[in-house]
Amino acid sequence: MEFTLLCNIRGPCNASVSIRLRLLHVWPANSPGDIRIYNDCTLWADKTGTLIHGVSPTSMAVGIRRNLSVGKIYVLKSFGLSNPPNQYRLCSFDLALGLSPSTSFQDCVLPAESFPVDAYEFVLFS
């Protein structure tokens, strides 16, 4: 199976596009006021170390926390790409990973050394 690197992805991604990513972090997103559009933020890395910020709708929060584990590598299909949230930037990658109920996550068994274990990026944002 052929996997696409983050740096080669542009535009909408249908079920024929597969990416392998390690889930690095998951935390609740706090929106201004009481408006909760997104409930969880995620940070992912591909095997080259490229980071991408993931956002998911409130309806997926329990499923993400219950079914995905930080540190594991997943194959993702049927995801969206969009501009990152305006309030903050987690990484310099110019797109955000849009997770939806139709996004499929499959565990991927690979040697652990082939993907970054953890990563942070300091982004100048104004």
Rounded distance between C-alpha atoms, residue 41 and residue 12, angstroms: 20
Listed in sequence order, the residues at least 6 apart from 49 whose beta carbon sits closer than 8 Å to its beta carbon are 116, 119
Enumerate the β-bridge partners of residue 57: 38
pTM of the model: 0.80
Per the domain annotation, does 105 fall within a domain?
A: yes
pLDDT tens column, 33-72: 555 555 678 899 998 889 998 888 777 766 777 788 999 9
% of the chain residues with pLDDT over 70: 71
Torsional sign, CA 49, 13, 122, 57: negative
Per the domain annotation, does 54 fall within a domain?
A: yes
Per the domain annotation, does 4 fall within a domain?
A: no
Per the domain annotation, does 68 fall within a domain?
A: yes
Per the domain annotation, does 30 fall within a domain?
A: yes
Domain count of the chain? Answer: 1
Q: Which domain holds residue 74?
A: 16-109
Per the domain annotation, does 123 fall within a domain?
A: no
Per the domain annotation, does 73 fall within a domain?
A: yes
Confidence (pLDDT) at 74: 93
Per the domain annotation, does 9 fall within a domain?
A: no
Q: Cα dist. 54→22, 39, 40, 111 in Å?
A: 12, 11, 8, 24
